[in-house]
Amino acid sequence: MPKTQTRQAKTYDAVIIGAGPAGVFAAAELVKRKKKVLIADKGKLICARKCPIVEGKVKECVNCSSCAIVSGWGGAGSASDGKLTLTTGFGGNLEEYIGRSELLSMIEYVDAVFVRFGADPHFYEASSETAHNTIRHGAQVGLRVLPARIRHIGTDASREVLDNMYKDLSTKCDIRMEARVEDILIEDGQAVGIRFEDGSEAVGRCVLAAPGREGASWLEKIIGKLKLPIASMPVDIGVRVEVPDSVCESLTREFYEVKCLYNTPTFDDRCRTFCMNPSGFVVHEYNQAHKLVTVNGHSLKNKKSSNTNFAILVSKNFTQPFSDPIGYATHVAKLANMLAGGGILAQRLADLKNGRRSTQSRIDRGMVGPTASAQPGDLSLVLPHRYVLDIVEFLDALNRIMPGVNHGDTLLYGVEIKLYSLRLELEKNLAVPSIKGLWMAGDGAGVSRGIIQAASSGVVAAHAICGEC
Ligand SMILES: Cc1cc2nc3c(=O)[nH]c(=O)nc-3n(C[C@H](O)[C@H](O)[C@H](O)COP(=O)(O)OP(=O)(O)OC[C@H]3O[C@@H](n4cnc5c(N)ncnc54)[C@H](O)[C@@H]3O)c2cc1C
């Protein structure tokens, strides 16, 4: 049946694609300045976002029409454990657009909004003496420790905060959930609205695309169609590490999250720790667009494990003629799914180093009781040798500040990938240079990699949009 093409009579000042932190914060800024706004998301409202696996109804992904983990009101942020990184230098590239001092004020502004809507006012920041000692010990083995100020909302509380924002915004702008956007409408070099999957259209003087990592492949197609220039394309692949809380607690008590950078001795590859979750849980992340399962982690405010998890990511920039970072990373992730019977793999560090697969009984005899269901296996059959060695060398260096992290029983889950790799060339205010009235923000456009910078990028775009309409 041909789709009906109905264009709504109402003209919005701004039409926003995606109700993640970037889209929601942009909408909040725009309505504050009395702009007429439509925000559209293919996912559901917070109360209807229920993953059948998380609810224990099924064991494997059943490919829901929209994934409750990464889609819907609040975006991927509402399923995340809401660790707000309140320091520049983490969680994205926004500094390159607006400069460090502007980013810092933006972070403070966005953070205050989160607190106003119910986020825990307490934040973590290591004392100068602890920070100094950790930095010094790290430096002795080539590890750069970057102290950050962190606010931890927690996955469950994070949903409440975002729901409070929905209640506030729903009285001030139009919101269309379960509405997948198919195309951005461009007429005479100017964005004029969006077309939904059902063929209906919404008209706007400006369009802000904030579809997150989940929408990165969709955005890639739009970018290709509009022939927009892409700036750079790194590939981030790694594993999630799980250790007993006792290995990290002297640091996590002070820092909450220990952020480290390391250039590996053998290949000189840049590795980093990412998303540390004290007393947390390793979780599956379902990527519908690519039909694969990867690893992530979170911690809850009201339910604790006795393990800490964090990711080790190896970041690589490939050279021409390579142009498909998403394809490369998903290919590696699919190998893990293939060996794990559709899920994720887990391996003890000692087994990885000794070139043998892990078995359930070896894991059961170990110190780390897994918090996620994963197939015991061999990550060296999935990750290129270079990545395996990078990870092993990084864990050896980390042992200097976290004694015990490179113990044989440490569990590695694979694989963790980040698909924020597509990065557009944008103006400083996040406008698309060649198309009037079109802005991009958040993880999908490669501007951010975390909640705070995604939300900040939405605010930056909204301020610029206000100047245009
Ligand atoms: C499990 C997990 C844990 C995380 N933990 C943290 C953390 O502790 N701290 C942190 O800072 N970050 C964390 N993150 C990352 C953080 O959630 C993201 O950086 C952030 O949500 C990005 O915001 P965004 O607005 O750019 O996109 P998203 O939050 O991804 O939102 C994009 C929205 O756009 C919608 N969309 C996509 N395509 C379309 C389309 N074609 N039509 C209509 N709608 C569309 C999607 O449904 C989605 O709701 C975590 C992510 C995950 C998955």
**Ligand 1 and 297: CB distance under 6 A:** no
Ligand 1 centroid to Cα of residue 88, in Å, is 19
pLDDT at site 214: 84
Confidence of residue 18 (pLDDT cuts 50, 70, 90): very high
The CATH architecture that domain 7-120+154-230+423-468 belongs to is 3-Layer(bba) Sandwich (3.50)
Please spell the DSSP secondary structure of 276-296, one letter per residue: EETT-EEEEEEETTTTEEEEE
Looking at residues 215-222, what average pLDDT do you find? 88
Q: 99-109: buried (b, 16+ CB within 10 Å) or exposed (e) per residue?
A: eeebbbebbee
182 CA: nearest ligand 1 atom? 41
| Dihedral pair phi/psi, residue 65, rounded to 5° | -65, -35
CA 109/CA 452 separation, integer angstroms = 10
Whether 238 contacts 312, CB under 8 Å: yes
Tell how far CA 311 is from the center of its chain: 12
**Ligand 1 and 449: CB distance under 6 A:** yes
Looking at residues 6-23, what average pLDDT do you find? 90
Instruction: Please give the residue that has the higher pLDDT: either 452 or 8.
Output: 452
Nearest CA to ligand 1 atom 33: 18
Instruction: Please give the residue that has the higher pLDDT: either 286 or 168.
Output: 168
Residue with tokens 């997150």: 212
**Ligand 1 and 325: CB distance under 6 A:** no
**Ligand 1 and 92: CB distance under 6 A:** no
Whether 412 contacts 358, CB under 8 Å: no
Ligand 1 centroid to Cα of residue 216, in Å, is 10
Q: Which residues are bridge partners to 124 per DSSP? A: 150
**Ligand 1 and 18: CB distance under 6 A:** yes
pLDDT at site 2: 46
pLDDT at site 206: 97
pLDDT per position as a tens digit, 397-447: 999 999 999 999 999 999 999 876 568 889 999 999 999 999 999 999 889
Nearest CA to ligand 1 atom 38: 215
Ligand 1 centroid to Cα of residue 447, in Å, is 12
Q: Which residues are bridge partners to 277 per DSSP? A: 309
**Residue extents of the structural domains in the chain:** 7-120+154-230+423-468, 234-418
Looking at residues 166-194, what average pLDDT do you find? 97
Q: Is residue 1 predicted with pLDDT exceeding 60?
A: no
CA 299/CA 326 separation, integer angstroms = 27
Q: Minimal CA–CA distance to 461: which of 209, 156, 184? A: 209
pLDDT at site 423: 80
What number of other Cβ atoms are within 10 A of residue 390's Cβ?
Answer: 29
pLDDT per position as a tens digit, 44-79: 999 888 888 777 787 667 778 788 878 999 998 676
Instruction: Please give the residue that has the higher pLDDT: either 355 or 91.
Output: 355
DSSP secondary-structure letter at 319? Answer: P
Looking at residues 101-120, what average pLDDT do you find? 95
**Ligand 1 and 193: CB distance under 6 A:** no
Q: Percent of the chain beyond pLDDT 70?
A: 96
What number of other Cβ atoms are within 10 A of residue 316's Cβ?
Answer: 16
pLDDT per position as a tens digit, 267-281: 999 999 999 999 999
**Ligand 1 and 21: CB distance under 6 A:** yes
Ligand 1 centroid to Cα of residue 72, in Å, is 9
Looking at residues 231-235, what average pLDDT do you find? 70
Host H or E run for residue 40: strand 37-40
